[in-house]
A and B are shown apart, each in its own frame.
Chain A
Amino acid sequence: MKVIQISIFLENTGGRIAEATSILADAGINIRAMSLADTTDFGVLRLIVSDVDKAEKALKDQGFAVGKTNVVAVQVEDKPGGLNRILQVLAKAEINVEYIYAFLRDSDQAIMIFRFDNTDNALKILQENKIKVFKGEDIYAM
């Protein structure tokens, strides 16, 4: 039930994100979701892509430092309190969330990408609470 996210290290210089996205475009890879975390000097671009292995190889070949991380794609009801419910469940179980970003989808259901400090525990809690979690293959192909 885990989704593999790839992340790359970027210096804060002009055009670096565009270079990364053009490498992915040339390799025929679709970006499903992305988020950028940054400091004054550098940033980390996190991506959910259609083909993890191919994307990793393409970016590595062009000299990027590429990391792979297990994240969890969680279905969130697209209405007030939808995200809150999930976060309350996690907080109660003392599961730490490292970061969250949105996965856009054309429906009344939203998907959020979660990075937990303990992914297995988090998955267990989510399942116990009947919160829908997506399989990697489903996410890559969406």
Chain B
Amino acid sequence: MIYNIDFETLPREAITAIQLKRLKATLENVYATVPFYKDMFRKARLTPHDIRSLDDLQKIPFTTKQDLRDNYPYGMFAVPMANVVRIHASSGTTGSPTVVGYTARDINTWAELMARALSAGGAHRGDIIHNAYGYGLFTGGLGVHYGAEKLGASVIPVSGGNTKRQIVIMKDFGPTILTATPSYSLHLAEVAKDMGISFKDLKFKFGIFGAEPWSESMRDELEETLNITAVDIYGLSEVMGPGVAIECHEAKNGLHIFEDHFIPEIINPETGEVLPYGETGELVFTSITKEAFPIIRYRTRDITSLHPEPCICGRTHIRMKRVSGRSDDMLIIRGVNVFPSQIESVLMKTDKIEPHYQLVVDRVDNLDTLTVKVEVSESLFSDEIKLLQTLEAKLSSDIKEYLGVSAKVKLVEPKSIARSEGKAVRVIDNRKI
């Protein structure tokens, strides 16, 4: 079912006409209300009036995550706080997190887009949605929640964790749609199996999976194990949250981006040059309807490509391929964004630690595990085992506290971490995704 048939099936000329109109209004607005953007225009010797076509968008500089951090917490907001009804923040960072805000109208827009997304993923009014995305500062849980209510589905706000209880709820409440990270969903299936419950006996029909990268082979596994149709959902808090793009269950071939609200571009991450449709590069977003936190040419660091060809589902909005990687070193571990530099700053808080560390990511029983190897330096070393063990435990709890991700800290011998051209190899990702 197409939730908003008028907007989701517009001919391309109509989409671009709406985009241009909304883009101009957005640029006028941020120029007048957000000093960061006014500066950006000034430095580029531009004013909003210089943007007369969608192609002119390329003249505007990019916005990066660092820009958002520099304006922490509210510097990028375009409305007075009195008009902000919700605040979310990016998952744990040691420095400044990125903070985003929503007006009442933004929340409504987000709910509409999530309702569209859930529809595209197979949900209808009357479905029961088991929402296992985390509720809180992370946009996943509440994003799905508001969309589900907008759609008229019944939502179970189960959030993450407490897996055995989730299985009981799945068995007793009869949910028909599962929204969760793909790795947690497979973990649910394993725990269910141990409890003697098969997903084949549950009522699930569709699963809407996101917040971490996954693959076609994982789709096969999810569909087989959970006995459902699995679709991919995409979003990021800086742009809105979940519901920026969604795969339709009919085609399961790329994610429709809601182009009446966002303008996507693909750029060469090295040069910043805009690439034509079909070519692979970094995804860049401009929001064109947001009030509290408009964002102009935001570099997502996600690698994908854009495909404007018509889709069998009837939607005319452009499709992005499943995200295949990152143009930076960010890792997504159990849905939490982790930069090696964040781990580094946690380690550096402890005196005596030299910056020789390595992150090893694995997937064990469908759950991501993070091991942080730290080289034992002369000054760190003790002949007493208990001091070394205390150090491991302390670092592990610091990482959990600052980044919100569980990590096993493992002390290793000096110079044992592989160095290439003198530079330590920071990340080893063994996940097969």
Contacts and interface: CB of A to CB of B under 8 A. Distances in A.
Interface in A17-48: 37-39, 41-42, 44, 46
A9 B413 contact: yes
A67 B388 contact: no
B312 interface: no
A50 interface: no
Given A44-B383, A65-B377, A65-B381, A10 B413 contact: yes
A98 B384 contact: yes
A67 B383 contact: yes
A138 to B, nearest CB: 22
B40 interface: no
A47 B378 CA distance: 16
A5 B382 CA distance: 12
Interface in A37-86: 37-39, 41-42, 44, 46, 63-67, 69
B410 A41 contact: yes
Interface string B386-404: 0011000000000000000
A9 B376 contact: yes
A9 B381 contact: yes
A111 B388 CA distance: 28
B42 interface: no
Interface residues of A, number: 21
A13 to B, nearest CB: 9
Nearest to B415: A63
B389 A64 contact: no
A11 B410 CA distance: 10
A67 B376 CA distance: 11
A85 to B, nearest CB: 26
How many B residues are at the interface, by size bracket?
10 to 19
Contact of B411 (A42, A66, A98, A115): A42
Contacts, number: 53
B83 interface: no
Interface string B408-433: 00111111100000000000000000
Contact of A63 (B383, B385, B413): B413
B413 A7 contact: no
Output the residue of A10, A46, A67 with the most chain B CB within 10 A: A67
A107 B415 CA distance: 43
Contacts of B410: 41-42
A19 to B, nearest CB: 10
A66 B415 CA distance: 13
Output the residue of B381, B383, B385, B415 with the most chain A CB within 10 A: B383
B388 A44 contact: yes
Given A9-B376, A39-B389, A42-B388, A65 B383 contact: no
Contacts of B380: 65
Nearest to A67: B381
A44 B385 CA distance: 7
A66 B378 contact: yes
A39 B413 contact: no
A54 B413 CA distance: 21
B417 to A, nearest CB: 11
A42 B408 CA distance: 14
Nearest to A63: B415
A64 to B, nearest CB: 7
B418 to A, nearest CB: 13
Given A39-B389, A42-B388, A44-B388, A64 B414 contact: yes
B389 A67 contact: no
A41 B415 contact: no
Nearest to A41: B410
A36 to B, nearest CB: 10
A65 B414 contact: yes
Given A65-B376, A65-B377, A66-B378, A39 B415 contact: no
A37 B385 CA distance: 7
Output the residue of A44, A46, A98 with the most chain B CB within 10 A: A44
B144 to A, nearest CB: 40
Contacts of A9: 376, 381, 388, 411, 413-414
Given A7-B383, A10-B413, 16 more contacts: A7-B381, A9-B381, A37-B385, A41-B411, A42-B388, A44-B385, A44-B388, A63-B414, A64-B413, A65-B376, A65-B378, A66-B378, A67-B378, A67-B383, A69-B383, A115-B384
15 contacts: A5-B383, A9-B411, A9-B413, A39-B389, A41-B410, A44-B383, A44-B385, A46-B383, A63-B415, A64-B413, A65-B380, A65-B381, A65-B413, A65-B414, A67-B382
Interface of A: 5, 7, 9-11, 37-39, 41-42, 44, 46, 63-67, 69, 98-99, 115
